[in-house]
C-alpha cells in the first residue's frame, strides 16, 4: 500500500514528511519529494507550487476576438515566467502511478481546496481523495490530520473554479472590447478592466471628482488657554455662523477667570484584546509598522510554513479549546528570553484567555506555536512579535483607566476639557502597541476658580473627503450597494454607547453622528463616536463596530413591507432587504418580499440567549420617509427591532488598478486622469460594465455555490448571457467608444507631459522625448523657441513644483530634483579662466551650461562627448596597468575606493586598494 500526499508548496511537504516519520529526500528532474514508512505503509509526500493550472481559450481564435466563453484548464506553464510548473506536474504524474491512496494536504481554504483538487484531477487522474485539515504545521497537528482525514469539500472547489472562470469571462472579454474600440479608429493602446475592478474604479473616481469639486465651508472655533497650559474648547465645538462666533468671543475675550461647574470622573476596565483574525492582524500591522495588508499576509504565511504560528487566513478570534494543546505551546514559549516570564505565569496561575466574537469553522485565531530557531527578517520579527504579544496578552488581566471630564463657565459660556490616565497596566504591559492618552489634569473640585491666560477665536474650513488608503479601501468597497436594502426611520437598533446598552431609533442614531457627507442621493453619517451595534455570529449575539449609517429616499416603485410576529412585535424593511431565517438547523437570508407566514427569524433574549420568532403576517405599507442602513464592516448583519437583518458587503483588493496606471498610491489612493477617462467612457457608452449591482449579485451567488445552495453551471450560464448582451451593445458603438476614449487619452497624455508655463509667451512647457534626446519645449513652437535640454539618462517624473530661486519648473531625474533653467542663480559658480584640452581627442574644452549647472564639454561635440565637472579633482596615479600599460588610478565605487585602469571602459583591469585590505583585516580581528 502506497499513499501519495499532495501539498501546496515544497516547504510544507518537507514539514509534513518530517512530522510523519524519518523521510528520505528524493527528486525527479530537480523537483523534491519525500519517502517514508509509517505503520507498514509507504508514504510519498510531494507538492505543487501554488496553482498548477490556469484558464485559456479552447481553440486559437483571431487576435482580439470577443466574446469568448469556450475555455479550458491547462498547465500554468503557458504563462510567461511559469515554465517551471511543468516539472511539478510531471513529477506528480509519475509519483501517482505507484500510489493506491491519495491525500490532499493543501491550505484549508477556497484556493487551497482548488489547488489540491486540480493536482489530483489533472496530474493523478483521480476525483476523490482523503483531505488532511490542519491549522498549524506542528507535528501533533499534522499527525492528527493524517490519522483523522476528512473528505474534499466540493462546494469550495466549485466556488473556487467559478470565481476564476467569471474573472476570465469579464477580464478578457471587456479588455478586448476596449482595445478593439481603439483599433477601430486606427490607434493602439493596451487596456484592461475586470469584473470587480471596473465597479471599484468607478467608486474611486466618484470620490476623486467629489474632491475636485469640493467647496470648503468656513467655521469658527473658540478656545480658552488656562493656567498650567490647559486648553478648553467651547462646548459648541464648531460655530457655523461668524456673527454668533464673534459675538461670543467679544463677550468673553477679556475674562481672566473661569469657574468649574461640573466634574465627572469615571473608571473603566479595559479587557484584553482578543487574539488575531487575519483582518485585524493586517490593520494593526499597517497601523503600527506601515506594512501593507498584502505583505502582512505574505509574511504571516511564511511564519506559518516555518511552523512558528497557526494558519493565518483565519476569521476566528478564539484560541483552541484544547487546554493541553495550549499548555504544550506555553511550555515551549516559557523558554523565550522575553515572552518566557508571561508564559510561565499563565501556566502557574492556570489563566484562561479572552476570546472575540468572530469564529471560523475551519481554523482558530492566529497564535504562536513555537520559538524561532533561525534568524527572521526585520519585518518577520515585527509580525511574529505582534502575534506573540497578542496571544499572551489574551490570558492577562484587565487594564484600568481613569477619565476626568470637566465643564467650566466663562461669563455664562460653557467650555469643556478632559484628562485621562492609566491606573493599572494589565495586559497593556505585554501588548503595548495601542497608545493610551495620558493627559494629567490638576486636582479640581466644583466651584474652583481657574485663571484664564487667553481666549482665542480661529477660523477654519471644512476639508474635502479624504482619499482612501490601500488598507481602508478594502473595507469601503464592502459598503457599496447602499441603495437597495434599508429599514424605516423608527426601527430600533440595539447599540452600546459609553458602555451603556440601549435601543435607539435608527433616524436618531443617524442624527447623533455629527460628521456627514453625501454620495449622489445617499447621505452617510460617520461613526466617529465608537458606538457599537450588535450582530449575529454562529448563534451568538456579538458586539460589532460599524463605520457608517446611510440614509436615502425611497426609489420609484420601491415598496416597504411590515413583517409582524406572533409576539406582537414587527419590523419594517424595503422589499429587497434580506432577513435571516432559521430553517431546520440551517441559516439563510430571505428578501422581505419573499418572506412567508410561519417562517422563523433569529432573535435574542435580554440575556443574549438565541431564540426564534415566528412570522404571523407580512403586508405592504404606505411609507414616504427616509430609509436607513447600517454599514457594518465586521459582520454581514446587525440586529434591528431585535431581529437579525443582512447588510451587504463586498471586498476586493485594487492592486490591479494600480498596476494598470488607473490609480496611484502615494499614501492615499488617487485616481489618475487615465482612470477617470476610462470610467467616463464606460459610463457614457456601456454603464453596465461598471454597475456594482451586477458584481454584488455574482459575489452572493459564489457564496451560495460554496454552501451548495445553487449549482455552479447556473451561475456561469447566467453570467455568460448577461455579458453577451452587454458586449453586443458595446460592439454597435465600438467606433464611437474608440473616438471618445482616444480623445480623452490624448488629452490625458498631453496633460501628463506639461511641466509648467513658458516664461516668454505663457504657453505650456512640454516634456518631449525623441529617440536620441529629450528636452522641454514650448507648446507654441515654432512661434516661441524656448527650450531646455535634459540628460539622456535617468527616469523623469514631473512633481509639479517650481524653483524657489527662479520660479522655473522642477523635474525629478533619477533620485534628484533639479531646476530645468541652466541660468538659475543657484547654479551659478565662479569659474577661473584657463585653457583646458580634451584628454580623449585633443580638442579644446569649452564652458557649457546644462540642467545640473555649469560644466566643461568637448568643442568637438557630438563626435566627442567627453565632459568633466568645473572643479575636477585629478585622480591619484599609483602605477602602470599590467594589462594595457595605461595609468593605474585610485577610483571610488559603491563599496569604497579601489585601483582601476585610466583607459576604462576599454580596459577593465582593477585591483584592491591596500587601505581596504587593512580595514577588512581589522574587521576580522574585531569579530574574532
Neighbouring-strand partners of residue 591 = 578
In angstroms, the CA 753 to CA 793 distance is 18
Cβ atoms of 421 and 401 within 8 Å: the answer is yes
Q: Under the phi-then-psi rule, with left for phi > 0, alpha for psi from -120 to 50, and beta for the rest, what region is 584?
A: left
Exactly one of 103, 286, 311, 325 is catalytic; name it. 311
Matching residue, cell 511641466: 755
Cβ atoms of 311 and 301 within 8 Å: the answer is no
Residue 917: in which H helix or E strand, if any? Answer: helix 914-927
Cβ atoms of 113 and 157 within 8 Å: the answer is yes
Non-local CB neighbours of 889 within 8 Å, separated by 6+ positions: 875, 876, 877, 878, 899, 900, 901, 902
**Which DSSP string corresponds to 255-289?**
--EEEEEEEEEEEEEEPPPPPBPHHHHHHHHHHHH
Q: Is 268 exposed, middle or buried (0-12, 13-18, 19+ CB in 10 A)?
A: middle
User: Would you give the DSSP letter of residue 809?
Assistant: E
Instruction: Tell me the chain's radius of gyration from C-alpha atoms.
Output: 34
In angstroms, the CA 728 to CA 171 distance is 16
- The verdict on whether omega for the bond into residue 905 sits within 30 degrees of 0, i.e. cis, is yes
CA 732 to each of CA 175, 685, 729, 736: distance values in angstroms, whole numbers, following the listed order: 16, 10, 5, 9
Three-state DSSP class for 130? Answer: strand
Q: Under the phi-then-psi rule, with left for phi > 0, alpha for psi from -120 to 50, and beta for the rest, what region is 39?
A: left
CA 847 to chain centre: 52
Three-state DSSP class for 351? Answer: coil
**Dihedral angle over CA of 500, 359, 698, 159, nearest 10:** 180
Is 311 assigned a catalytic role? yes
Non-local CB neighbours of 609 within 8 Å, separated by 6+ positions: none
Neighbouring-strand partners of residue 776 = 767, 788
In angstroms, the CA 262 to CA 255 distance is 19
In angstroms, the CA 902 to CA 883 distance is 12
In angstroms, the CA 656 to CA 198 distance is 11
At 904, give phi and psi (nearest 5°). -60, 140
In angstroms, the CA 57 to CA 745 distance is 30
Cβ atoms of 71 and 62 within 8 Å: the answer is no
The CA-CA-CA angle for residues 77, 80, 85, to 5°, reads 25
Which active-site residues does the annotation give? 311
Amino acid at each position: 500500500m502506497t499513499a501519495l500526499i499532495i501539498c501546496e508548496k515544497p516547504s510544507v511537504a518537507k514539514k509534513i514528511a518530517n512530522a510523519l516519520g524519518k523521510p528520505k529526500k528524493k527528486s525527479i528532474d530537480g523537483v523534491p519529494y519525500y519517502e517514508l514508512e509509517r505503520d507498514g505503509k509507504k508514504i510519498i509526500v510531494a507538492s505543487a507550487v501554488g496553482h498548477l493550472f490556469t484558464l485559456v481559450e479552447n481553440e486559437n481564435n483571431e487576435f482580439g476576438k470577443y466574446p469568448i466563453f469556450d475555455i479550458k484548464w491547462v498547465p500554468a506553464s503557458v504563462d510567461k515566467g511559469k515554465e517551471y510548473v511543468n516539472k511539478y506536474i510531471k513529477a506528480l504524474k509519475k509519483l501517482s502511478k505507484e500510489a493506491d491512496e491519495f491525500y490532499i494536504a493543501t491550505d484549508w481554504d477556497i484556493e487551497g481546496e482548488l489547488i489540491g483538487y486540480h493536482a489530483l484531477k489533472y496530474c493523478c487522474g483521480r476525483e476523490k481523495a482523503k483531505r488532511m485539515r490542519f491549522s498549524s504545521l506542528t507535528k501533533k497537528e499534522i499527525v492528527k490530520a493524517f490519522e483523522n482525514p476528512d473528505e474534499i469539500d466540493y462546494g469550495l472547489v466549485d466556488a473556487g473554479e467559478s470565481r476564476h472562470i467569471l474573472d476570465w469571462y469579464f477580464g478578457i472579454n471587456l479588455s478586448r472590447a476596449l482595445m478593439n474600440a481603439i483599433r477601430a479608429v486606427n490607434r493602439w493602446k493596451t487596456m484592461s478592466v475586470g469584473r470587480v475592478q471596473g465597479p471599484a474604479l468607478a467608486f474611486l473616481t466618484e470620490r476623486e471628482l467629489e474632491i475636485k469639486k469640493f467647496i470648503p465651508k468656513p467655521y469658527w472655533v473658540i478656545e480658552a488657554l488656562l493656567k498650567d497650559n490647559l486648553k478648553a474648547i467651547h462646548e459648541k465645538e464648531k460655530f457655523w455662523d461668524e456673527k454668533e462666533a464673534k459675538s461670543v468671543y467679544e463677550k468673553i475675550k477679556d475674562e481672566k477667570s473661569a469657574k468649574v461647574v461640573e466634574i465627572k470622573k469615571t473608571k473603566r476596565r479595559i479587557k484584553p484584546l482578543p487574539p488575531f483574525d487575519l483582518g485585524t492582524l493586517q490593520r494593526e500591522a499597517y497601523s503600527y509598522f506601515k506594512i501593507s495588508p498584502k505583505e502582512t499576509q505574505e509574511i504571516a504565511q511564511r511564519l506559518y510554513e516555518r511552523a512558528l504560528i497557526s494558519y493565518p487566513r483565519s476569521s476566528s478570534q478564539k484560541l483552541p479549546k484544547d487546554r493541553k494543546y495550549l499548555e504544550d505551546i506555553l511550555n515551549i514559549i516559557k523558554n523565550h528570553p522575553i515572552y518566557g516570564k508571561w508564559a510561565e505565569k499563565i501556566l502557574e496561575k492556570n489563566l484562561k484567555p479572552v476570546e472575540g466574537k468572530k469564529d471560523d469553522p475551519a481554523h482558530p485565531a492566529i497564535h504562536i506555536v513555537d520559538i524561532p530557531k533561525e534568524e527572521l527578517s526585520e519585518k518577520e520579527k515585527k509580525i511574529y512579535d505582534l502575534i506573540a504579544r497578542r496571544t499572551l496578552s489574551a490570558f492577562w488581566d484587565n487594564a484600568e483607566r481613569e477619565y476626568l471630564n470637566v465643564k467650566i463657565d466663562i461669563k455664562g459660556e460653557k467650555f469643556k476639557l478632559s484628562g485621562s490616565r492609566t491606573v493599572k497596566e494589565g495586559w497593556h504591559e505585554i501588548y503595548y502597541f495601542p497608545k493610551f492618552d495620558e493627559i494629567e489634569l490638576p486636582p479640581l473640585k466644583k466651584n474652583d476658580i481657574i485663571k484664564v491666560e487667553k481666549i482665542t477665536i480661529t477660523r477654519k474650513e471644512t476639508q474635502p473627503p479624504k482619499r482612501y488608503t490601500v488598507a481602508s479601501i478594502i473595507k469601503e468597497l464592502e459598503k457599496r450597494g447602499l441603495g437597495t436594502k434599508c429599514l424605516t426611520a423608527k426601527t430600533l437598533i440595539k447599540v452600546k454607547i459609553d458602555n451603556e446598552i440601549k435601543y435607539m431609533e435608527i433616524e436618531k442614531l443617524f442624527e447623533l453622528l455629527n460628521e456627514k457627507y453625501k454620495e449622489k442621493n445617499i447621505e452617510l453619517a460617520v461613526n466617529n463616536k465608537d458606538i457599537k451595534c450588535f450582530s449575529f455570529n454562529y448563534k451568538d449575539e456579538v458586539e460589532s463596530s460599524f463605520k457608517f449609517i446611510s440614509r436615502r429616499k425611497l426609489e420609484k416603485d420601491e415598496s416597504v413591507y411590515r413583517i409582524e410576529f406572533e409576539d406582537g412585535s414587527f419590523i419594517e424593511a424595503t422589499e429587497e432587504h434580506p432577513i435571516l431565517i432559521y430553517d431546520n438547523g440551517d441559516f439563510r437570508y430571505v428578501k422581505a418580499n419573499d418572506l412567508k407566514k410561519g417562517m422563523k427569524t433569529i432573535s435574542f433574549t435580554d440575556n443574549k440567549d438565541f431564540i426564534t420568532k415566528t412570522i404571523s403576517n407580512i403586508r405592504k405599507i404606505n411609507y414616504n420617509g427616509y430609509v436607513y442602513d447600517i454599514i457594518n464592516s465586521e459582520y454581514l448583519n446587525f440586529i434591528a427591532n431585535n431581529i437579525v437583518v443582512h447588510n451587504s458587503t463586498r471586498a476586493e483588493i485594487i492592486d490591479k488598478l494600480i498596476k494598470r496606471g488607473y490609480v496611484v498610491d502615494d499614501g492615499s489612493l488617487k485616481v489618475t486622469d487615465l482612470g477617470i477617462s476610462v470610467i467616463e467612457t464606460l459610463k457614457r457608452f456601456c454603464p453596465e460594465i461598471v454597475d456594482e449591482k451586477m458584481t454584488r449579485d455574482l459575489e452572493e451567488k459564489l457564496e451560495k455555490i460554496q454552501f451548495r445552495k445553487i449549482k455552479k453551471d447556473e451561475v456561469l450560464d447566467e453570467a455568460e448571457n448577461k455579458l453577451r448582451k452587454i458586449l453586443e451593445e458595446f460592439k454597435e458603438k465600438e467606433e464611437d467608444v474608440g473616438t471618445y476614449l482616444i480623445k480623452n487619452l490624448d488629452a490625458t497624455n498631453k496633460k501628463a507631459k506639461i511641466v509648467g508655463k513658458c516664461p516668454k509667451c505663457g504657453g505650456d512647457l512640454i516634456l518631449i522625448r525623441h529617440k536620441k534626446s529629450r528636452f522641454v519645449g514650448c507648446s507654441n513652437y515654432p512661434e516661441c523657441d524656448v527650450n531646455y535640454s535634459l540628460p539622456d539618462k535617468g527616469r523623469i517624473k514631473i512633481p509639479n513644483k517650481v524653483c524657489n530661486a527662479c520660479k522655473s519648473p522642477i523635474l525629478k531625474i533619477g533620485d534628484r530634483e533639479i531646476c530645468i533653467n541652466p541660468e538659475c542663480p543657484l547654479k551659478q559658480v565662479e569659474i577661473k579662466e584657463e585653457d583646458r584640452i580634451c584628454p580623449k581627442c585633443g580638442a579644446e574644452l569649452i564652458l557649457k551650461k546644462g540642467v545640473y549647472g555649469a560644466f566643461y564639454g568637448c568643442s568637438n561635440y557630438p563626435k566627442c562627448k567627453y565632459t568633466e565637472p568645473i572643479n575636477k579633482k585629478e585622480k591619484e596615479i599609483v602605477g602602470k596597468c599590467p594589462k594595457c600599460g595605461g595609468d593605474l588610478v585610485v577610483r571610488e565605487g559603491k563599496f569604497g575606493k579601489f585601483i582601476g585602469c585610466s583607459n576604462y571602459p576599454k580596459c577593465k583591469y582593477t585591483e584592491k586598494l591596500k587601505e581596504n585590505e587593512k580595514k577588512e583585516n581589522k574587521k576580522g580581528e574585531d569579530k574574532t
